[in-house]
Amino acid sequence: MTTRRTAHVSVDAMIDDLRTLVEVESPSRDLDALTASAKAVAAVIESRLGGQAVLVESEAGPHVHWSAGGESQVLVLGHHDTVFPLGTLERRPFTVEDGRATGPGVFDMLGGLVQAVHGLATLDDRSGVEILVTADEEVGSGSSRALLEERALACGAVLVLEGAADGGGLKTGRKGCGTFQVSVAGRASHAGLEPAAGINALIEAAHQVLDVAALGRPDIGTTVTPTVASAGTLDNVVPAEATVVVDVRVESVGEKDRIEAAFAALAPHLDGAKITVRGSVGRPPMPESASAGLFAVAKRLLPELEGRVVGGGSDGNFTAALGVPTLDGLGAVGGGAHADHEYLVVEAMADRANLVAGLVKAIRIA
């Protein structure tokens, strides 16, 4: 591993802190693991920035909040939960080799947290800066949304530490995203003796799959993708129940409203079948207009940066929907989010740390 220092940011020190965080596994919904992870995140923040990082308890695990004091001007936003179950670290330990750091959560998004903390540590004056690291972003931010929205409104600008887009680009827009579950209630009967006496929930579900798939408008960025289905109990029983799970992505609020109305209006095709729909487009779209001002500042700091609109959602969707200027993808350069080949590019860590620091400085003097 080569060491690079830029504006007093030590890559070796960042790697040490990243190892510390990765080696405290933090799967979403595991409260004991998330408590240990939150304490580790708080310790890293306090050791590099001073002050006190407060653990905000929630039903999803502790969120970590740190404030430098003074009038709030910028919220640095991240999460410490990961998608990987306990035991992943044993199979895939933290490693730095050939210019890449690997291990569960290095790219999404522990690397971004470490880079931001070290970048902020280069600032002589950190007043007006807040850091919020939530415990449930990977599972929808149900317990943290109110808090992150409150702090975003109070600060007036948000820097999101999700991993960079392909090639190191910043995420200047995001689709709104949501999950729907279509449940079918039919009636069981013997598949051989009296199949007509039943109401086949699987056949009804097949109709519903075709109906919901037809709602997609990829020409305007709307995708509606059935992803998981289940039905039936035994091979000689007409299935009485079936479920279909559907992933939805939209680029506009109008499409969000259209899709939600269409799911609410789904109707059965078979006599006697009943349809129940749950879900919504829970993360609203993040329009490029929300990031335009901050992205222009980032381009002045690193002219080679590119902006990308991406399909995945983040907590930046929520803050942008409030009208708060939001710039995303400021975390690690790398790839393989949520996969075993997840990695972080070590050479880019110093530049990304300094980018966060530069943005904070520019926001505070604007």
Element (H, E) at 56: strand 53-56
Whether residue 99 contacts residue 347, with contact meaning beta carbons closer than 8 Å, is answered with yes
Quick count: other Cβ atoms within 10 Å of Cβ 125?
A: 11
pLDDT digits (tens, 9 = 90+) for 249-276: 999 999 999 999 999 999 999 999 999 9
Contact assessment for residue 135 and residue 144, using Cβ atoms and an 8 Å cutoff: yes
141-174 residues labelled b (16+ CB within 10 A) or e (exposed): bebbbebbbebbeebbbbbbbbbbbeebbbbbbb
Q: What is the pTM of this model?
A: 0.90
Q: Would the pLDDT of 344 be above 90?
A: yes
By the 8 A CB rule, do 115 and 331 touch? Answer: yes
Of 16, 359, 349, 35, give the one whose Cα is nearest residue 164. Answer: 349
Give the other-Cβ count within 10 Å of 257's Cβ: 12
Confidence of residue 365 (pLDDT cuts 50, 70, 90): confident
Q: What are phi and psi of 76, to 5 degrees?
A: -95, 115
Minimal CA–CA distance to 205: which of 275, 136, 288? Answer: 275
CA-CA distances (angstroms) from residue 256 to 47, 82, 101, 156? 43, 27, 38, 25
| Per-residue confidence (pLDDT) for residue 198, from 0 to 100 | 98
Distance CA 232, CA 72 (A): 55
Distances (CA, A) of 201 to 142, 245, 320: 31, 15, 41
pLDDT in tens, 143-179: 999 999 999 999 999 999 999 999 999 999 999 999 9
Residue 5 has pLDDT above 50, yes or no: no
Mean pLDDT throughout 328-346? 97
Confidence at residue 2, expressed as pLDDT on a 0 to 100 scale: 35
Q: What is the tens place of the pLDDT at every residue in 192-249?
A: 999 999 999 999 999 999 999 999 999 999 999 999 999 999 999 999 999 999 999 9
Residue closest to 80 by CA, chosen among 170, 127, 20: 20
In this predicted structure, the answer to whether residue 32 has a pLDDT above a threshold of 80 is yes
Ramachandran region, residue 228 (left: φ > 0; alpha: ψ -120 to 50; beta: rest):
beta
CA distance 200 to 270: 8
pLDDT band at 72; cut points 50, 70, 90: very high
Q: How confident is the model at residue 8 (pLDDT cuts 50, 70, 90)?
A: confident
Given CA atoms 265, 270, 276, 277 in this order, what sign does their dihedral have? negative
256: number of CA atoms within 13 Å, CB side? 16
pLDDT at 366: 72
Q: Give the mean model confidence (pLDDT) for residues 356-366.
A: 93
Strand 9-10 relative to strand 95-97, pairing: unpaired
The answer, yes or no, to whether residue 6 has pLDDT greater than 70, is no
What's the pLDDT at 1?
Answer: 32
- Region 28-39: mean pLDDT is 98
Q: What is the pLDDT of residue 170?
A: 98
- Supply the pLDDT for residue 319: 98
> What whole-number distance in Å separates Cα of residue 344 and Cα of residue 346?
6
Rounded CA separation 80/85 (Å): 14
Residues 6+ apart with CB under 8 A from 241: 183, 184, 185, 186, 201, 231
Assess whether pLDDT exceeds 80 at residue 9.
yes
Alpha-carbon span 202 to 207, nearest angstrom: 9
The pLDDT of residue 3 is 34
**d(C-alpha 295, C-alpha 325), whole Å:** 10
Sorting pLDDT into bands at 50, 70 and 90, what band is 7? low
14 pLDDT higher than 50: yes
Nearest to 294 by CA among 182, 142, 172: 172
Name which residue leads in pLDDT, 82 or 312: 82
Nearest CA among 218, 225, 136 for reference residue 178? 225
Is the confidence at residue 77, as pLDDT, over 90?
yes
